């Protein structure tokens, strides 16, 4: 935490410098289509965002990408999977809180059972055993919770380190850290070091998993910034809709099961594994 | 008088119901046709990707499937947004040609990544004059991906209008890219055409 505080003046300087880049020019009121485009893009601070986008690209090229490539080169895939599973398992408490706040009992149950099974039978979360016994993984965060509560996303933001986001997801990110029991557990240098190791490993793990996609986009897109902006928005909207539509019933196994809603027409007969 | 009116009303009602039923049947038939089409096309793609043919032959086979099943011109037109109408007919033609090449490149570049791919077809949902078919794509060492295929009827044949992977639409993402590029290059369609040509030259050179 102290490291962050020491860096605050630096971040402030960067913010002010970025601000001088100014705001995106609003098209004239007469040009209806251009105006509609401007509203749809919803990126009034585009020049500032592009400034931070370039800074992040530089940071990525020098630090994060080489780290992720080195990680992929040195650590074999099964071990990387294990590390990913451990990191994912550590997010379970935050995941569970959000499942509950979103009013998704089945998801909360999945998360609870996954944490229980994977922490024990999965040896500290290394193996995702729960997936194979009927508790599938899902991902969510407080940004999605806010969206389900009806909070609008606000304009697009591209921030140092955080990358593409919006005010709702910035709030979600902050609350996510506060919600996390591991933020508050324990004291001393070892705990602090472990905490930062976890953040660092999460960043490298996430970057490694997207090495090929990001390469592909920066190589093929004419305007990678606009492409990332669009992809981020669409992906978040997709996650929100997926969560909203997940209304699986919570019925104990011994209780008469409800009829499945509108069975897929392509696959007649009972679903396998039920 | 009264009976005549009742008869008329009955006839009207019957016709109405008949139309409703016909519409319902048409929608259902369209849905199952689209599912069959996605299943067929998907099986062909998987066969090529997982097959033992050399890389160059695979590219050719994929190209044939894409040309037969994807409505490239419609996707290209969508991706240009409002600039389609600004472009001259020559520019439109050249742009569609380049877009076709770009699309083929981006698909065939992923052959290696998709080795061992499998897919299952789920349900279909009508969507704005087209049908969205749900599929789940499974690759070794990757979490399953939900992919939606937007199928519409073009001249009596089903065609792919869009591919939506985990909520991200191919044509919408492409449009964001091109429109933003045009906005930063003086709304000049020729600049986009030149950029696409340069990109292809780099990719093939």
Note whether ipTM > 0.85 here: no
d(CA B76, CA B93): 10
Looking at the complex, does the CB of residue B179 fall below 8 Å from at least one CB of chain A?
yes
Interface of A with B in 137-166 (CB under 8 A): 137
pLDDT-derived band at A267, boundaries 50, 70, 90: very low
Q: What is the dihedral of CA A154, A158, A161, A162, to 10 degrees?
A: 30
Are A265 and B123 within 8 A, CB to CB?
A: yes
- The whole-angstrom distance between B91's CA and the closest CA on chain A is 18
- B168–A231: do the CB atoms touch at under 8 Å? yes
Considering only CB atoms, B121 lies closest to which of A222, A231, A266, namely: A266
The token duo for A1 is 């935490």
pLDDT value at residue A261: 54
Q: Which of residues 16-75 of A touch B (CB under 8 A)?
A: 33-34, 37, 41
CB contact under 8 A, A235 and B172: no
A223-261 pLDDT per residue, tens:
999 999 999 999 999 999 999 999 987 776 667 766 655
Extended strands (E) in chain A: 157-159, 163-165
**Nearest Cβ partner of A234 from B113, B168, B183?**
B168
CA–CA separation, A106 vs B98, rounded Å?
A: 48
Q: What is the pLDDT of residue A82?
A: 95
Does the distance separating the beta carbons of B177 and A227 come in below 8 Å? yes
Termini Cα distance of chain B: 83
Contact residues, B window 71-130, toward A, CB-based 8 Å cutoff: 81-82, 102, 105-106, 109, 113, 121-124
Question: pLDDT for A131-185, tens place per residue?
Answer: 999 999 999 999 999 999 999 999 999 999 899 999 999 999 999 999 999 888 8
- What are the tens digits of pLDDT across the range A62-83? 999 999 999 999 999 999 999 9
CA angle A112, A118, A120 (to 5 degrees): 105
Q: Does B145 touch chain A (CB under 8 A)?
A: no
């Amino acid at each position: 935490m102290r490291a962050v505080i020491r860096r605050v003046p630096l971040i402030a300087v960067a913010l002010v410098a970025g601000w001088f880049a100014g705001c995106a020019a609003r098209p004239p009121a007469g040009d209806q289509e251009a105006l509609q485009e401007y509203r749809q893009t919803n990126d009034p601070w585009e020049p500032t965002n592009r400034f931070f986008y370039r800074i992040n690209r530089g940071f990525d090229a020098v630090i994060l990408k080489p780290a992720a490539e080195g990680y992929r080169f040195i650590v074999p895939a099964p071990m990387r999977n294990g590390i990913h599973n451990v990191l994912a398992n550590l997010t379970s408490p935050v995941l569970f809180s959000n499942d509950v706040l979103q009013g998704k009992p089945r998801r909360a149950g999945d998360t609870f059972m996954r944490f229980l099974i994977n922490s024990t039978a999965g040896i500290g979360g290394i193996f995702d055993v729960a997936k194979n016994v009927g508790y599938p993984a899902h991902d969510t965060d407080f940004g999605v919770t806010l969206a389900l509560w009806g909070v609008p996303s606000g304009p697009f933001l591209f921030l140092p380190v955080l990358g593409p986001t919006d005010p709702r997801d910035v709030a979600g990110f902050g609350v996510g850290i506060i919600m996390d029991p591991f933020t508050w557990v324990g004291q001393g240098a070892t705990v602090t070091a472990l905490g930062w190791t976890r953040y660092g490993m999460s960043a490298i793990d996430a970057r490694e998993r997207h090495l090929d996609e990001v390469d592909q986009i920066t190589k093929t897109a004419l305007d990678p910034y606009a492409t990332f902006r669009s992809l981020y928005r669409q992906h978040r909207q997709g996650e929100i809709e997926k969560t909203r539509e997940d209304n699986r019933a919570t019925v104990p196994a011994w209780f008469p099961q409800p009829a499945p809603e509108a069975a897929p027409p392509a696959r007649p007969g009972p679903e396998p594994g039920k | 008088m009264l009976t005549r009116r009742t008869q008329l009303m009955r006839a009207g009602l019957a016709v109405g119901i008949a139309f409703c039923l016909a519409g319902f049947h048409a929608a259902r038939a369209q849905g199952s046709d689209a599912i069959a089409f996605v299943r067929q096309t998907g099986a062909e793609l998987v066969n090529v990707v997982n097959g033992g043919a050399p890389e160059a032959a695979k590219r050719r086979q994929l190209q044939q499937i894409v040309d037969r099943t994807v409505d490239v011109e419609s996707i290209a037109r969508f991706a240009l947004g409002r600039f389609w109408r600004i472009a001259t007919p020559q520019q439109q033609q050249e742009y569609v040609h380049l877009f076709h090449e770009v699309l083929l490149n981006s698909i065939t570049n992923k052959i290696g990544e998709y080795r061992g791919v499998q897919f299952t077809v789920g349900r279909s949902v009508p969507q704005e004059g087209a049908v969205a078919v749900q599929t789940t794509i499974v690759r070794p060492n990757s979490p399953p991906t939900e992919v939606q295929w937007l199928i519409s009827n073009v001249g009596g044949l089903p065609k792919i209008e869009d591919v939506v992977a985990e909520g991200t639409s191919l044509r919408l993402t492409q449009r964001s890219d091109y429109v933003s590029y045009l906005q930063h290059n003086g709304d000049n369609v020729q600049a986009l055409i030149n950029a696409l040509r340069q990109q292809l030259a780099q990719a093939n050179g």
